[in-house]
């Protein structure tokens, strides 16, 4: 029996471009934020991956690795549009329990759907439904397992267009060929932490006790990990959003101190608008700037909980005084930290209420008349087009702010 179905779209951004542009099909394609050799690939088709091109590969290096590489500028609004079509297609076969990211979703199986044969057929039906109703070039890998964690693991085991079933009887042997970093929740830092404790393989990881993993992870997450690896279907922990952020690769003519600051103001506006739409407050803002030939610069500032754009812009101006002189910026980003849901926030001084009221009034006007109908006078110049973080699917309203 299996309880979960996890779907992972293969080379999603590149596949959408190949669907929209038939001349790109069966060819190596890299999706880039802008048409410049100094930027980085944000997605690659499987034809390009065969040459070693992947997300994060610098474009000029990708072209050396893959002669004939075709670079296309990202069209994030199209990826969101197709995302919603795919969710609808999957939902017509089985209710989507959770949209995990722009290219991942999970469905909890019930009743006879939990039978392995029927779950397998359901997965095949979903694949066919996506191809027939959304796009013939769109492929996905699906994992079926006793819990959502292992279903996610299964979706990564066969790509592209894979289908992996992990039953209780398959554990733990089916996991032994994997590397620890192949498991969800284990990145490079956690991999190093595991190795410091002489955990080098998945088999090593599974040999440790529940208390050992609690110590490795520094809390209850380690205990949950122990149970999930053994196929137990645990109830999800109640969580709330931790950060809101936006980043942007600067076009060549904006790679100046003034251009970078102008774009950062736009990003703060977007982040603040999202914060209010989500009914959250924040008490920290961080800024980072990446350069061509020097280490990244970043800084942060703490303040009283707020959700208004003006306070955040003032925080940005304070941080910007520390920006290094004579540096050529390549990319910028802002992140709002220490988020608190509205029902846990206590109003402070009267000035806070006035600023928040002003921000919400501006939101209403911009919602009615367009995203740039009302804004602070200093926020002029080039826009920072909406990009997609894989864990955040923008609303349609986010794209209406772009110019």
CA distance 396 to 77: 8
| 121 prior amide bond cis, ω within 30 | no
The predicted structure's pLDDT at residue 394 = 55
The predicted structure's pLDDT at residue 63 = 97
Q: Per residue in 267-278, pLDDT tens?
A: 999 999 999 888
Confidence of residue 185 (pLDDT cuts 50, 70, 90): confident
**What is the 3 state secondary structure string of 306-333?**
ECCHHHHHHHHHHHHCCCCCCCCEEEEE
Domain with CATH 3.40.1170.60 in the chain: 12-74
Confidence of residue 240 (pLDDT cuts 50, 70, 90): low
Query: 298 forms bridges with which residues in the sheet?
Result: 288
Predicted TM-score (pTM) above 0.75: no
* Higher pLDDT among residues 126 and 300, named by residue: 126
Confidence of residue 402 (pLDDT cuts 50, 70, 90): very low
Residues 6 or more apart whose Cβ sits within 8 Å of residue 366: 273, 372, 373, 374, 375
**Average pLDDT rounded to a whole number, residues 274-290:** 90
**Average pLDDT rounded to a whole number, residues 21-45:** 95
* Higher pLDDT among residues 80 and 203, named by residue: 203
Domain with CATH 3.30.1490.100 in the chain: 244-399
Residue 369 confidence (pLDDT) above 90: no
Residues 6 or more apart whose Cβ sits within 8 Å of residue 157: 141, 143, 164, 178
Pairing of strands 244-249, 329-337: antiparallel
**Average pLDDT rounded to a whole number, residues 247-253:** 90
Tokens of 371: 């995203």
Q: Is 247 helix (H, G, I), strand (E, B) or coil?
A: strand
The predicted structure's pLDDT at residue 287 = 95
47, 48, 51, 52: CA torsion to nearest 10: -130
- Residue 337, judged by CB atoms within 10 A of its CB (0-12, 13-18, 19+), counts as middle
Which DSSP category does 142 fall into? E
Q: Per residue in 318-360, pLDDT tens?
A: 999 999 988 889 999 999 988 887 766 655 443 445 555 555 5
**Average pLDDT rounded to a whole number, residues 54-65:** 95
What's the start-to-end Cα distance of the chain, in Å?
Answer: 51
The predicted structure's pLDDT at residue 166 = 98
Report the percentage of the chain scoring pLDDT > 70: 83
Q: What is the CATH number of domain 244-399?
A: 3.30.1490.100
Cα R_g (the chain), whole angstroms: 23
CA distance 298 to 289: 6
Query: Mutual orientation of helices 76-91 and 12-20 as an angle, nearest 10°?
Result: 100
Least reliable range by pLDDT among 72-81, 107-116, 129-138, 341-350:
341-350
Handedness of CA 152, 12, 400, 90 (dihedral sign): negative
The predicted structure's pLDDT at residue 396 = 47
Tokens of 368: 């009615």
Q: What is the CATH number of domain 12-74?
A: 3.40.1170.60
């Amino acid at each position: 029996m299996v309880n979960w179905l996890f779907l992972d779209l293969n080379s999603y951004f590149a596949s959408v471009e190949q669907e929209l542009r038939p001349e790109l099909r069966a060819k190596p394609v890299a999706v880039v934020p802008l048409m410049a050799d100094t930027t980085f690939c944000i997605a690659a088709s499987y034809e390009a991956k065969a040459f070693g091109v992947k997300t994060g590969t610098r474009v000029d290096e990708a072209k050396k690795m893959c002669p004939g590489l075709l670079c296309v500028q990202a069209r994030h609004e199209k990826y969101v549009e197709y995302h919603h079509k795919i969710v609808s297609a999957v939902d017509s076969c089985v209710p989507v329990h959770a949209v995990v990211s722009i290219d991942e979703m999970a469905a909890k199986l019930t009743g006879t759907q939990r039978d392995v044969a029927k779950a397998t057929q359901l997965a095949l039906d979903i694949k066919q439904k996506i191809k027939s109703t959304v796009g013939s070039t769109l492929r996905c890998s699906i994992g079926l397992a006793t819990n959502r964690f292992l279903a996610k693991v299964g979706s990564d085991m066969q790509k592209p267009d894979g289908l992996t079933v992990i039953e209780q009887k398959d554990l733990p042997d089916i996991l032994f060929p994997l590397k620890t970093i192949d498991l969800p929740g284990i990145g490079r830092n956690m991999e190093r932490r595991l190795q410091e404790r002489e955990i080098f393989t998945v088999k090593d990881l599974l040999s440790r006790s529940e208390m050992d993993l609690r110590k490795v992870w520094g809390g209850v997450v380690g205990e949950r990990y122990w149970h999930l690896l053994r196929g137990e279907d645990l109830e999800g922990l109640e969580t709330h959003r931790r950060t809101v952020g936006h980043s942007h690769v600067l076009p060549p003519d904006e790679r100046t101190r003034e251009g970078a600051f102008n774009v950062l103001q736009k990003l703060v506006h977007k982040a603040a608008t999202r914060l209010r739409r989500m009914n959250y407050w924040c008490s920290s803002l961080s800024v980072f700037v990446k350069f061509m030939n020097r280490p990244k610069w970043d800084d942060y500032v703490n303040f009283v909980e707020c959700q208004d754009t003006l306070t955040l812009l003032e925080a940005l101006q304070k941080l910007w005084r520390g920006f290094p002189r004579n540096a050529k910026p390549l990319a910028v980003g802002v992140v709002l930290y220490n988020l608190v849901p509205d029902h846990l926030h206590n109003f402070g001084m009267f000035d806070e209420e006035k600023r928040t009221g002003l921000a919400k009034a501006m939101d209403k006007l911009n919602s009615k008349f367009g995203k740039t109908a009302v804004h602070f006078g200093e926020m002029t110049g080039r826009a920072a087009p909406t990009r997609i973080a894989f864990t955040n699917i923008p609303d349609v309203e986010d794209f209406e702010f772009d110019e």
